Amino acid sequence: MKPSLAKGTRDFTAEEVSRRKYIINILQKNFELFGFQPLETPSFENLSTLTGKYGEEGDRLIFKILNSGDYTSKVNQEDWNNKSHQKLTSQISDKALRYDLTVPFARFVAMNHGKLTFPYKRYQIQPVWRADRPQKGRFREFYQCDADVVGSESLLQEVDLVQLYLKSFADLKVPVTIHLNNRKILSGLAEYAGITDKLIDFTVALDKLDKIGKEGVVKELLEREISQESIDKLDFLFTQSDDALENLLQLKEKFAGNEVGTKGVEELEFVLTRSVSLGVDIQNLVFDITLARGLDYYTGAIFEVKADEVQMGSIGGGGRYDNLTEVFGVKNIPGIGISFGLDRIYLVVEELGLFPAEATSKVEYLFANFGGEETLDALKLIMQLREKGISAELYPESAKINKQFTYAEKKGIKNLVFLGEEEIKNGTVTFKNLEAGEQKTVSLEEFLG
C-alpha cells in the first residue's frame, strides 16, 4: 500500500510546528492581555448542534461522522431507493466534526450560563474541519484562534476587538487592513431595494464579490430571483469611495426612514470614530459595504482582516451574533467574536520572511559519542545543561566522527561537543560551533556558565 495523505490535510515538520507555536504564543499572549480566558471543547458535536447555523452552503461543508455499528441495517430501504438525503443522514449519522469554534462556544454558554460571570470573555485555539475544496491557503483541517465576548451589547467590545487585531498583527509584523460592515446595513440595503424576503440570497451572493466580480454577483442575484430593478437600485455598492466615513454619509441619505439600516450605520460609525480616537490609522480600517461573510448568525458588526502585502484570502474574521444562544433555548445573551486563521497567517508570515530565527526550535549541543566510560561523563554533563534549560543530546552510537558531524549539520544543531579522555582528565570541554566553524576548549565551569 502506497502511503498518502487525505486531501486537504498536512503533516507538520519540527520547523513548521515550532513556527506555528511562535504564532500561537503571540496570539495567546494578546488574548490574555485583553482579558480573555482559555476554553476547549470536543472535536465533534451532535449534528443537530451544528446544522442550520452556517447557512445553506456552510451546512454542506460539515464533515458528518457515521454512526458506529451496522447502521445500514437500520436504514429504511425506501430511503435508499429514493436517495432522500435528509432522512438518510438522520439514520446513519448524528455526530459531526466541528465546523468552527463559535457554535460550540454558544452551546457551551447555553449549557453553563448559570455558572458564568458575564460579560464572559474566552479564547479558544483548536482545529476545525470543513469538507471544502482544497486550494492555496484553504484546507479541510485547520486551526482557528478565536476570542469572543458574550453577555454585553456595548459597542466598546467591537472597538476593543479592533485593537486586539491590530496589536496581534503588529507583534507578528504583518501589515493588515481590517474590513468592516454591519449586518443591519445589509438588512437595510435589502429593505431599500425591496428584497427583504431575499436577504440571505442577497448576502450570500454579495459575499462572493472578490471571487466572481460584479458581473458574477449580478448573475447570481438574477438566478436567485432578485429583479433587475432591485439590482439597479443597489448598483452604487460596486462604486464605493476609499473614504469610509464618506460612504457612511451616503448611506445615511439613502436610509432616510429606514430604521434598521440607520441603526447599522450609527453602530459602524461609532466603532470607526472611537477606534480613530484611540490612535488607529483610518487607512487600516475599510468600510466594505459588500462584506457579508455569508453566515446566518451575524446580527451586527462584521470583521474581515486581509494582509496588505500578500495575495491571500482573509486571515481573520468575525462579528456580532446577538441571537445565537437562542437556538439552544437560552435568550438574552448577546455575543461578539473574532477569529485568527492560523494556517493562512503562517503562509503570510512565511512569504514575507518574518519568522525570527528563534521561532525554529534547535538543539544547542550534540555530544559526540566516543564509546567507553566517556559516555557516562557526557550524560552527566548533559543532565546539568538540561537543568539549566539548555537543550542537549548524546549521539546514540559510537560511530565515525564524520557521521556524527553530518547528523548535527542536517539537524541544524549549533554545537558539537567533544568530551574525551583528555578533556575529562583536565576538567575541560571542547566544542565546535558548526555555524561559525570555530572550535575552542574551555573549563567545565566556563562551559556551564
State phi, psi for 265 to the nearest 5 degrees: -60, -45
- Quote the distance between the C-alpha of residue 387 and its chain's center: 35
Return the C-alpha cell found at 333. 445573551
Beta bridge partners of 417: 367, 431
Cβ atoms of residues 199 and 187 within 8 Å: yes
* Distance (Å, whole) CA 202 – CA 285: 24
Cβ atoms of residues 319 and 264 within 8 Å: no
* Distance (Å, whole) CA 247 – CA 241: 7
* Distance (Å, whole) CA 243 – CA 250: 11
* DSSP 8-state code for residue 313: S
What single string gives the DSSP state of each residue in 163-184?
Answer: HHHHHHHHHTT--EEEEEEEHH
Return the C-alpha cell found at 192. 431599500
Which residues contribute to the annotated binding site? Answer: 100-102, 130, 144, 148, 293, 297-298
Task: Return the number of other C-beta atoms located less than 10 Å from residue 383's C-beta.
Answer: 10
* Distance (Å, whole) CA 63 – CA 132: 9
Which residues contribute to the annotated binding site for L-histidine? Answer: 100-102, 130, 144, 148, 293, 297-298
Starting at the edge strand found earlier in the chain, the sheet holding 64-65 runs: 44-46, 95-97, 64-65
Would you call 409 helix, strand, or coil by DSSP? helix
